[in-house]
């Protein structure tokens, strides 16, 4: 079941990021993501295992943004078939509200928030890597990418970048699977950093001031 959501004044890539930010929670699991920038524009798609708020219902939610059309395509599957239209409507409304919030953010804050949202996606990619193929090198690359992006943002994220550096050090020169007893600790750290990022982005996109 699917619907289309207008992206309004946001760029396709930022609309994709805002929509992803909306459906990504601590309990969400990213299963697939792809982003492409070409001369023709932006294309992005992401699929997550999503739990409906205040329920135990899990859905597979897919976002698709193509700069050729000024909309986000939202697809859902799973859950009670009779209730699926309600689920689709609720998620669509949440995404629309998030797009409106991002659209109202002044330029400097919006740039800060959009960069942080990319880092959140990178952390989700690292979590998915940890769950599906916990190879030292592959996980290291994912976490290192997220850390480098946070360093470029700076500010309130500096403590997290220092913690990430400490986590990365023992991963750097190792090969093969990460021992199972170490995966939980790493996953908890990734989720904690994700929570910090979401808190900052929420502050940036909901607090208003006179800055431009």
Query: Model confidence over 62-97: pLDDT tens digits?
Result: 999 999 999 999 999 998 899 999 999 999 999 999
Q: Which of 103, 30, 20 shows the shortest CA–CA distance to 64?
A: 20
What is the per-residue pLDDT for 51?
A: 86
What pLDDT band is residue 170 in, cutting at 50, 70 and 90? confident
Query: Model confidence over 10-58: pLDDT tens digits?
Result: 999 999 999 999 999 888 899 999 999 998 899 999 999 998 887 788 9
The CA-atom distances, in angstroms, between 153 and each of 26, 148, 196 are: 22, 9, 14
Domain with CATH 1.20.120 in the chain: 107-206
- The answer, as to whether pTM is greater than 0.85, is yes
Domain with CATH 3.30.310 in the chain: 2-103
Which architecture does CATH list for 107-206?
Answer: Up-down Bundle (1.20)
Question: In whole angstroms, what is the distance from residue 136 CA to residue 58 CA?
Answer: 30
CATH 3.30.1370 fits 2-103, yes or no: no
């Amino acid at each position: 079941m699917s619907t289309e959501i207008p992206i309004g004044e946001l760029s396709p890539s930022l609309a994709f990021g805002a929509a992803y930010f909306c459906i990504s929670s601590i309990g969400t699991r990213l299963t697939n993501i792809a982003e492409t920038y070409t001369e023709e524009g932006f294309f992005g798609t992401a699929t997550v295992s999503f739990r409906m708020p205040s329920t135990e219902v899990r859905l597979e939610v897919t976002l698709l943004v193509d700069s050729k059309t000024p909309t986000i395509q939202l697809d859902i599957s799973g859950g009670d078939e009779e209730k699926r239209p309600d689920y689709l409507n609720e998620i669509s409304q949440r995404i629309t509200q998030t797009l409106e919030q991002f659209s109202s953010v002044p330029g400097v804050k919006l740039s800060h928030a959009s960069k942080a949202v990319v880092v959140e996606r990178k952390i989700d990619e690292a979590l998915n890597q940890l769950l599906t193929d916990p190879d030292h090198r592959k996980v290291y690359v994912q976490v290192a990418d997220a850390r480098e992006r946070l360093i470029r943002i700076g500010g309130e994220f500096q403590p997290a970048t220092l913690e990430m550096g400490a986590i990365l050090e023992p991963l750097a020169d190792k090969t093969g699977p990460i021992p199972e007893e170490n995966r939980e600790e790493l996953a908890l750290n990734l989720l904690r950093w994700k929570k910090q990022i979401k808190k900052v982005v929420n502050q940036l996109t909901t607090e208003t001031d006179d800055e431009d």
